[in-house]
């Protein structure tokens, strides 16, 4: 899939040099990359992305710091 024209988005207030960026692709797919390594792109189907977002909302990836 050609993503050369993708519009990469990051958190609105994130001005750091190294940040996570996402791009919404055709068919509901999503691409994700690090601004520090823009050539390495992870691609997710619509259902994979939805499962990830729901997991984040449910706290599935929360890490307790002692």
Please give the average per-residue pLDDT across 23-29, as a whole number. 93
- What one-character DSSP code corresponds to residue 1? -
**Inside any domain, residue 41:** yes
* Claim: this prediction has a pTM higher than 0.85: no
Would you say residue 66 lies in a domain? no
- For residue 44, is it within any domain? yes
Distance CA 56, CA 7 (A): 23
Chain mean pLDDT for the chain: 92
Residue-number span of the structural domain to which 14 is assigned: 1-61
Query: Is the pLDDT assigned to residue 1 strictly greater than 80?
Result: no
- Domain count of the fold of the chain: 1
């Amino acid at each position: 899939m050609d993503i050369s024209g993708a519009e990469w988005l990051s958190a609105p207030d994130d001005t750091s040099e190294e940040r996570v960026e996402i791009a919404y692709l055709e068919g509901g797919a999503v691409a994700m990359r690090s601004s520090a390594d823009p050539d390495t792109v992870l691609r997710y189907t619509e259902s994979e992305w939805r499962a990830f977002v729901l997991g984040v909302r449910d706290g599935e990836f929360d890490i307790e710091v002692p």
